[in-house]
A = this chain, B = another copy of it.
């Protein structure tokens, strides 16, 4: 079992910020799936996102992964219980690690959370932070323009600064001292966010925290892979060209060997799941 790969999925390239942290684990083999033919998830309804997440997970399970990382905040926010219920392997989302970190670093107990409309609308971060510390005040803000700005390569453009000022104003006015980056694209905006927020606000990168959780789970379950890993494998559902281009910027490295796949469509009862990989 420990010889198997770790599966990571996201709606697109954003999850590469999580991949980048997990790939540092020595000896682990990674398989990444970006559902680029249906990206983004963040502006879609919860049941649609659940269906997409089940289909993506099913694909990775067919590759015999030992652990599933949902490197997409939207999918983590709305689909995690469905994935945990359906699969036997550990399923790790990005919400809880980010929430735990935020609860531990805030000094004044005022935490901001930014994310897609679907992530914020789900209330998942609010519940997860409250579960850690019930006295924290949480202020949330959907930021739908941040993802397209990053994808356009404008993360450091004056437009990004103006958009960030507009989105973050209600949070800074509430005196937050901690901001959860509740979308895997947002770490690309760190520079602009720091400028707009000033030095007094800590940024919590859910992706980085998730990598730590992965390490913990692997250790607890005795699933560390200690021999030299095979090369990482990347799969996407749309043409690989755009993924390689934008993804390269995310990784700060050339991204090649990306394969296109078609995800099986699931009926409402998920009847196409592989036997043996399901509960």
Binding site for B on A (CB under 8 A): 36-39, 43-48, 144-145, 147-149, 151-152, 154, 157-159, 162-163, 166, 237-239, 241-242, 265
Q: Which residues of B contact A39 (CB under 8 A)?
A: 43
Please judge, given known A-B contacts A152-B145, A158-B162, A166-B159, whether A37 and B44 are in contact too, CB under 8 Å.
Answer: yes
Cross-chain contact of A38 among B38, B163, B265 (Cβ < 8 A): B38
Q: Which residues of B contact A166 (CB under 8 A)?
A: 157, 159
Q: Which residues of B contact A241 (CB under 8 A)?
A: 45
* A/B interface sample: 8 pairs, CB < 8 A: A43-B151, A45-B238, A45-B241, A46-B239, A48-B239, A144-B148, A144-B152, A145-B159
Closest to A262 in B: B265
Closest to A147 in B: B148
Q: Which residues of B contact A154 (CB under 8 A)?
A: 145
Cross-chain contact of A48 among B46, B157, B238 (Cβ < 8 A): B238
Tell me if A44 and B238 are in contact (CB < 8 A): yes
Q: Which residues of B contact A152 (CB under 8 A)?
A: 144-145
Tell me if B145 and A149 are in contact (CB < 8 A): yes
Cross-chain contact of A47 among B38, B145, B151, B239 (Cβ < 8 A): B239
Which 4 A-B pairs have CB atoms at the shortest separation, nearest pair first? A45-B239, A148-B148, A48-B238, A37-B48
Alpha-carbon distance between A39 and B43 when the two chains are bound, in angstroms: 9
Alpha-carbon distance between A27 and B197 when the two chains are bound, in angstroms: 57
Closest to A158 in B: B162
Closest to A166 in B: B159
